[in-house]
Amino acid sequence: MIRIKNIAVIGAGVMGHGIALTAAQFGKYEVIVCDTDQQFVDRGMGLISDWLQKSVAKGQIAEREMKETLERIHGTTNLQDAISKADFIIEAVTENKESKKALLREVGKIASDHAIVVTNTSSIRITELAAALTYPENFCGMHFFNPAQLMELVEVTKGKQTSDSTVKAVLEVAHKMGKETVVLKKDCPGFIVNRILMSALNEAVDLYYSGVAEKEDIDKAIKLGLKWPIGPLMLIDQIGVDTVVAIDKILGKEIGPKFYPHPQLKEMSDTGDLGRKSGKGFYDWTNRKMVS
């Protein structure tokens, strides 16, 4: 098994920048973050810097650790530069099957034959995505949770052709990043967490739009009754309404209609009320206050 030194994270968005930060800060890896446009790279790097600065201000880390972490992370828009020398490549682009396949085909043309490639997909079958790669035995699912720098869990899923040595390497990287891991015995859409979570989120949306209770009370009930750290409607806002809809569509198609997104949730996605990243979803995020 190769020694992992250099990690490339493809996608500098909500998940990508958090994964890059985790790899550099806790894993002590050299990290390159790549995205299609410089503004996306700059935004991702800015979010990493902001997080570290806040951590210093709170006394959680020393300024030296912040500086050393930032020195390990570099940004680029050049896919060739990002992955040609990478030992470990993490795909973290939008949850769209065709977009991921197109990217993985490009990765397969550039990556070395020993490089391990993982996908942060939260719903798509690993075997299906692996078909886009030259070396599917080096490919695996590595699903982080948002925010990646805080959430402890990583779901690891083998594809049909994934080698045992690849799984071993992925687990080693995850543990070096300080994560707890679960390994799925079977490649299935949605894996463990989202198979359960998406049903619960859809039910919360239905309760709200059916007029059963106000959003604040739905979230309060689940936080206090089930000990969730965050209520389901606020969680949708945090994840992104569009992302939840995308996952639901995949699960609905792959498993059954009970997983299809609630019509009102789809309408929110279509009108751009995406949650925190757009400023408004179930709650108003423009000034961190709830919508009245």
Per-position pLDDT tens, the chain of length 292: 678 999 999 999 989 999 999 999 999 999 999 999 999 999 999 999 999 999 999 999 999 999 999 999 999 999 999 999 999 999 999 888 999 999 999 999 999 999 999 999 999 999 999 999 989 999 999 999 988 999 999 999 999 999 999 999 999 999 999 999 999 999 999 999 999 999 999 999 999 999 999 999 999 999 999 999 999 999 999 989 999 999 999 999 999 998 999 999 999 999 999 999 899 999 999 876 444 3
**From 194, 202, 262, 269, active-site residue:** 194
CATH 3.40.50.720 domain extents, the chain? 6-184
- What pLDDT is stored for residue 178 in this prediction? 97
Number of Cβ atoms within 10 Å of the Cβ of 216:
15
Find the helix or strand (DSSP H, E) in which 38 lies: helix 38-57
DSSP 5: -
**From 55, 91, 120, 122, active-site residue:** 122
- What pLDDT is stored for residue 242 in this prediction? 94
194 catalytically annotated: yes
| Token code pair at residue 233 | 């409607």
Q: Is the pTM of this model over 0.85?
A: yes
CATH 1.10.1040.10 domain extents, the chain? 195-270
- What pLDDT is stored for residue 197 in this prediction? 95
| Token code pair at residue 76 | 């680029």
Number of Cβ atoms within 10 Å of the Cβ of 83:
27
Q: Which CATH superfamily, name and number, covers 6-184?
A: NAD(P)-binding Rossmann-like Domain (3.40.50.720)
CATH code at 195-270: 1.10.1040.10
Which regions of 30-71 does DSSP assign to beta strands (E)? 30-34
**From 95, 155, 262, 269, active-site residue:** 155
122 catalytically annotated: yes
Q: What is the four-CA torsion angle of 37, 240, 181, 48, rounded to 10 degrees? A: 40
- What pLDDT is stored for residue 2 in this prediction? 72
155 catalytically annotated: yes
267 catalytically annotated: no
**From 30, 143, 202, 262, active-site residue:** 143
